[in-house]
């Protein structure tokens, strides 16, 4: 990756609608942002479409970026929000409501799920991509983006209980997927 000063110069040129600078920025961050978007969809073509939409937003809002902040974090946030907007717009997900009599089943403190550190990044991504769009979205927002259930509920327009239910079901399903991939039970 380029130095901070080079990134800053590229961002300043992008703010002036310099097409070469926009192309340079796109090339610098495309791969990393594609990976971010792939976490929210299981289809590479869709992820590429989301990245394209995300970069349009980046170029439209580049002047709102404070050059003192982390551009990596800012662009990642744009891509995550674009991914969520895409899912919402295309309604390709259905969140499962939590029944009141199952509240105790999905307690976050009791459920401690960790993906094994030695699992390759590709296997983890493939496994997450096999989750339904609703489960995948909540899983990513909770574990990868570090959102609370309250924040997820607000962002997706669902209840906190629905967020918790989808996360619990995502963890169960992800465990099944991983078990089938490695051919043995994961504890």
- Map out the domains of the chain as residue ranges: 4-90, 100-182
pTM > 0.75: yes or no: no
pLDDT at 109: 40
CATH class of 4-90: mainly alpha
pLDDT by residue for the chain (187 residues), tens digit each? 457 888 899 999 999 999 999 999 999 999 999 989 988 887 889 999 999 999 999 999 999 988 788 899 999 999 999 998 888 887 655 565 555 444 444 444 433 333 333 345 667 778 888 889 889 999 989 988 888 999 999 989 999 999 999 999 999 988 888 888 777 544 4
pLDDT at 66: 82
Compute, in degrees rounded to 10, the torsion defined by CA atoms 2, 118, 81, 37: 80
Fold of the domain spanning 100-182: Arc Repressor Mutant, subunit A (1.10.10)
pLDDT at 45: 92
CA pair distance 133, 146, nearest whole angstrom: 18
CA pair distance 58, 75, nearest whole angstrom: 7
pLDDT at 23: 95
């Amino acid at each position: 990756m380029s130095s901070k000063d080079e990134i800053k110069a590229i961002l300043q040129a992008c703010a002036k609608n310099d097409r070469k600078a926009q192309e340079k920025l796109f090339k610098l961050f495309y791969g990393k942002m594609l990976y971010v978007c792939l976490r929210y969809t299981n289809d590479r073509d869709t992820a590429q479409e989301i990245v394209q939409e995300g970069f349009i937003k980046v170029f439209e809002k580049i002047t709102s970026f404070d050059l003192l902040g982390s551009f990596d974090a800012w662009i990642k946030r744009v891509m995550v929000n674009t991914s969520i907007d895409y899912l919402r717009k295309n309604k390709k997900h259905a969140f499962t409501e939590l029944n009141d009599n199952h509240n105790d089943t999905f307690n976050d403190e009791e459920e401690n799920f960790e993906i094994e550190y030695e699992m390759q990044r590709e296997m983890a991504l493939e496994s997450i991509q096999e989750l339904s769009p609703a489960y995948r979205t909540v899983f990513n927002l909770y574990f990868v983006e570090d959102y609370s259930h309250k924040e997820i509920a607000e962002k997706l327009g669902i209840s906190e209980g629905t967020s918790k239910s989808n996360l619990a079901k995502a963890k169960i399903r992800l465990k099944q997927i991983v078990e089938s991939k490695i051919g043995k039970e994961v504890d």
